[in-house]
Amino acid sequence: MNQYLKCQKVCLSLYLVFIPISCFCSIAFALSIQPLFDAVMQMNRQRFLYASFWAIVLGIGDIVCLLLVHFLRVALLTWANCLLKDRLFERILSFSYSRFCEKNKEYLSVLNNDSQAITEGYFMKELELYRVIWSFLLSLATVSALSPVITAVVLGMGLLSVLLPHLMGKRLDQNQRLLSEKRECYFSDVGDSLNGFLTIISCSAKGYFLKKHGQSNQNLGKQQAKTENSLYLATWISMLFSSVSYLGTLILGGALVLKGYLSLGGIVSISQLIGGIVAPLEQVPAFLAQIRSTRSLRKKCEDILYTKEQSVSFLRRGNKISAENLSFQYPNSKSGIFHFSFSANQGGKYIIVGASGSGKSTLAKLLGGLYSPDSGVITIPHDISAEEILYLPQKAHIFSDTLRNNLTLGKPISDLKLKEQFIQLGLQEFFSHLPNGWNEVLKEDSCSGGEAQRIAIARAVLREPKILILDEATSALDDNNRKSIERMLFSLPEVTVFEVTHRIDTELLSLCDGVFSVENGRLISRF
């Protein structure tokens, strides 16, 4: 995962350089306090002014370095997070439809939550570890030069503060894994309930789903509390030992001052430098725990980024469009397509008819390349690429974007061509009510179901497919609009059209080249 930090080479290099510089400035500032206090104790005005000047200069330098380090760290983390999200999104969009459907809710969580958690709990802690290691080493060397005895005491207590919480690592990992599972379960339950909102209010089942949500929410809350308590306990142990270290430093330093082995200014400087030893030892266990806590999240991201799908060769090239002995069955279900064979001419218009649940939509998804068959092959002509096969579902999706972008999806298309398509689909009235025309930003409720379907049909036609599969794509239209649009689609030159429907329009029969009747996943007739 570190590759996302390394991609920003200049920023990372500057960060790696400024960290030791910042640590040197902090130590120099702490050491400048010794002559300042010693001058006060000696009542030496000249030495006091000289020491004050350098303390101010070094203090300003320390602040400037800290600011630069902060800005560099923020820039690195922002870049890494954006790059990770971009690559995750790119990878998700390259998945097959069947793989996407398996974990689509998980993918949304990975993009929205997990990537940010990785940035904060992994990327940032790795950068912080580099800083605290430099701070620890330089502070340890400086304090050792001033007082080896104090160094030994502080280092011994500090090491204990590291080792004890480290022993709790397995419990922290287990709690974090369980928390991730509970969180996924909660999001799944909430999503399922909200998607079924209409059913809930229609059936007056609010009480049941409130109880179900309460139980899921409680399970998540309990695991969150358990995880937070474990992490806090590990941190508390470290803080306990660090407090003992500070107290021991003051007592031992005071004794050394009384015996004349150390000046008052020296003990003040040492007390400032002790933070550079104790703080890293206190922070390291917490950082490591947080890095470990992201292990399951990083595993999910790596599965998305690097796990390859099994490539099954079911597509064959030929002179016509055909399917041979095509079979597909849904997991844990008896429904699907069984031993399905047919042939179609390039540029032909065909109707796939069948009752609800007959398997016609499954066949459409197989033809569209959304599902991979369990057996059999699909043949397409040599001059047709996979990108030229377009599947249009019953429920049209309208993106939260401009009307133009909803239609073109990034393809350069003139306004004149867009207008011609809208006229063919009877969308002039819809367009006339848009204040910003093609630049009007649409939302889910910006248009009716019929208007959304016509926009989706326009989008499909504008992409100029060579094979167009309509899966009940005109179901929300009135009879007049439906018949007009179907005639328009069936008149598209050099486009092979498969229309999936539960009824046959007699007027459309004269325009089509064949009808495939499907029942219980099998082809029962063709004419």
Segment 11-58, tens digit of pLDDT: 888 888 889 998 888 888 888 887 877 777 778 788 888 888 888 888
Measured CA to CA, the distance from residue 427 to residue 490 in angstroms comes to: 19
- Residues 6 or more apart whose CB falls under 8 angstroms from that of 419 comprise none
Q: Give 394-439 pLDDT, tens digit per residue.
A: 888 888 889 999 999 888 999 999 999 999 999 999 999 999 999 9
- Cβ neighbours around 429 below 10 Å, total: 8
Q: How far is CA 261 from CA 243, 251, 268, 347, in A?
A: 24, 14, 14, 98
For 440: left if phi > 0, alpha if psi spans -120 to 50, otherwise beta; the answer is beta
Count of Cβ atoms closer than 10 Å to residue 318 Cβ: 13
Neighbour order of strands in the sheet with 522-526: 389-392, 467-471, 496-501, 349-353, 514-519, 522-526
What's the whole-number average pLDDT of the chain? 83
Residue 439's pLDDT is 93
Q: Left, alpha or beta for 384 (phi > 0: left; psi -120 to 50: alpha)?
A: beta
Phi and psi for 38 in degrees, rounded to 5? -65, -35
Report the half-sphere exposure of 496 (CA within 13 A, side-chain side).
Answer: 21
Choice among 2-11, 171-180, 404-413, 456-465 with the minimum mean pLDDT = 2-11
| pTM passes above 0.85 | no
Q: What is the DSSP string of 116-159?
A: HHHIIIIIHHHHHHHHHHHHHHHHHHHHHHH-HHHHHHHHHHHH
**What span, in angstroms and rounded, lies between the C-alpha atoms of 336 and 330?**
6
Q: Do 176 and 293 meet the contact criterion of CB atoms below 8 Å apart?
A: yes
- pLDDT for 160 beyond 70: no
- Categorize the per-residue pLDDT at 2 as very low, low, confident or very high, splitting at 50, 70 and 90: low
Instruction: Please answer whether residues 376 and 525 qualify as being in contact, where contact means their C-beta atoms are separated by less than 8 angstroms.
Output: no
Taking a C-beta distance cutoff of 8 angstroms, is the pair 375, 327 a contact? yes
Domains and CATH numbers, the chain: 3-306 (1.20.1560.10), 315-526 (3.40.50.300)
pLDDT confidence band for 314 (50 / 70 / 90):
low
User: What is the per-residue pLDDT for 84?
Assistant: 86
How does DSSP assign 258-280, residue by residue? Answer: HTTSS-HHHHHHHHHHHHHHHHH
Q: What percent of the chain has pLDDT over 70?
A: 89
Q: What is the mean pLDDT of residues 72-97?
A: 86
Would you state the pLDDT for residue 271?
Answer: 74
Token output for 88 = 């995750």
Q: pLDDT band for 468, please (50, 70, 90 cuts).
A: very high
Q: What is the pLDDT of residue 462?
A: 92
Query: Average pLDDT, stretch 275-285?
Result: 74
Residue 527, pLDDT above cutoff 80: no
Question: Which 8-state DSSP code applies to residue 437?
Answer: G
Using an 8 Å Cβ cutoff, are 480 and 505 in contact?
A: no
Residue ranges with strand state E in 349-456: 349-353, 375-381, 389-392
Q: Is the pLDDT of residue 71 over 60?
A: yes
- Distance from C-alpha of 391 to C-alpha of 389, rounded to nearest angstrom: 7
- Confidence tier at 454 by pLDDT (50, 70, 90): very high
Nearest one of 468, 463, 472 to 494, comparing CA atoms: 468
pLDDT attached to residue 164: 61
